[in-house]
Amino acid sequence: MKFSALDISIGDVFMGVLFKYGGLIRLQIDPEYANNPNRPLLSLSMLAENPEQNAALLLDPLAPIFNSPGENRLPPFFQNLLPEGVLRKHIAAERGCDEDDHFELLAACGADLPGNVFARPTANTRELARKLVTQNQDALEESVMADPLDDGISLSGIQPKLGLVAQGGRFVAGRRHGDSHIIGKLPTLQHDLLPEVEYLSLQLAKAAGVTVCEATLEPLSSIVSPHEYLLGKSDHFLAVKRFDRDRPGRLHAEDFAQVMSVDPDHKYTGGSYADIARIMLKVNGLGQAAVLELIRRITVSELIGNYDFHLKNIGVLHHPDGRIELSPAYDIVAYSVYIKGAGHALAFADAQPKRQILGPAAVRHFCNDAGISEVKVRSIVAGVCAKAVKKWPDMIAGSKLMPAQQERLHAFFHSRPLVQGLLRRQQKNQAAFE
């Protein structure tokens, strides 16, 4: 069996070695990192319940967070770094590996992963192999990982995407011209005007009080980067400014699948919104403010038909000084424009069904499970609805969506029980003054 290894670092701080030997895939933490009281944090999942036990946890080679769950999958944090969908197919083809060769895909993307984590080829010595796998007992066949691809960029999601750098009004390929600072989300054959729909969705969320990522619609003709994607009906792409790259140097980030150590295949079932809220309440820098922002985003998703608000679409930022904050909202899309449906990607609380709508019962179960005031949550929901009713109809009508798409979004929005209830109350109040 071959031994393969990647050096893992956070910025310029070496953390340990991720290695593969047969079915064994493990992150071996470096003792110097584990015993450094000022070490940068890779993931909230890698903290012990008692801070005094953090070093012991990091140095435990059998801890599940550092080991493959099987089937050649990476430990959950790293599995969640891999590209998905058509981008994975593209990188696998460029790499000359199978789409299920997760270790090889991570190596291919290791220089431009989300956040401030790097996975670089290790100088594979026999001594290192014996140390990590056999405790210096046996000889191993070695396999040195190749260098990362020039265009090896890992971006989550199934929509065709490019990692880009803005240069003088044009957008060129990342990696060849430095770290990608822009995610170029391209039009698809399956969904007409998807960049325009996502752009409008983000603007609607912002108008309702949500903190959203920076994004603009840009002409497709401004992209100077070769790709093999078949593009759909639109002359534009959505240029999303990467919040983990929008400053000098990189800013570390992770999503809640990583925070909760959940494999990306379980992003819909690995936790509830209340589970996320309970974690937020325990983390300095998140707390109640982050929970209420989560509620804003859930409410917006309810009103536009964003059925895909799962664990990977909620994230946190790790600042160099150790401060943690909720990342801006991203991947908010009004899927009601394309498909019929209702409800949410995650259950609101334990033992509650998926695809539940945001109503009094869901709010009550969420608040009871998360341990947060129901009055405050109801106030946030009502505030989002009031802003949406006031601002959204004109925004939708003035958007770049096709007339039929505007009609579907209008109809979905006005069919939501939250909106219907608010409109009835407004009508009653108006009648009382007449």
Q: What is the pLDDT of residues 194-246, one digit of tens each?
A: 999 999 999 999 999 999 999 999 999 999 876 666 677 889 999 999 999 86
What pLDDT, on a 0 to 100 scale, did the predictor assign at position 177?
A: 46
Could you say which residues of the chain have pLDDT below 50? 135-137, 139-151, 153-155, 177
- Helix %, strand %, coil % of the chain (to 5): 40, 20, 45
What pLDDT, on a 0 to 100 scale, did the predictor assign at position 79?
A: 96
What pLDDT, on a 0 to 100 scale, did the predictor assign at position 305?
A: 97
What pLDDT, on a 0 to 100 scale, did the predictor assign at position 30?
A: 95
Q: Which residues of 403-422 are buried (b: 16+ CB within 10 A; e: fewer)?
A: eebbebbeebbeebebbeeb
What pLDDT, on a 0 to 100 scale, did the predictor assign at position 126?
A: 61
Give strand ranges (E) for 168-221: 170-173, 182-185, 215-219
Is 147 catalytic? The answer is no
Instruction: Note the Cα 363 to chain centre separation in Å.
Output: 24
Q: Which of 308, 331, 350, 394 is catalytic?
A: 308
What pLDDT, on a 0 to 100 scale, did the predictor assign at position 230?
A: 62
What pLDDT, on a 0 to 100 scale, did the predictor assign at position 236?
A: 93
83 touches 154 (CB < 8 A): yes
The pLDDT tens digits of the residues spanning 322-357 come to 999 999 999 999 999 999 999 999 999 999 988 999
What pLDDT, on a 0 to 100 scale, did the predictor assign at position 22?
A: 84
**pTM of the entire predicted model:** 0.91
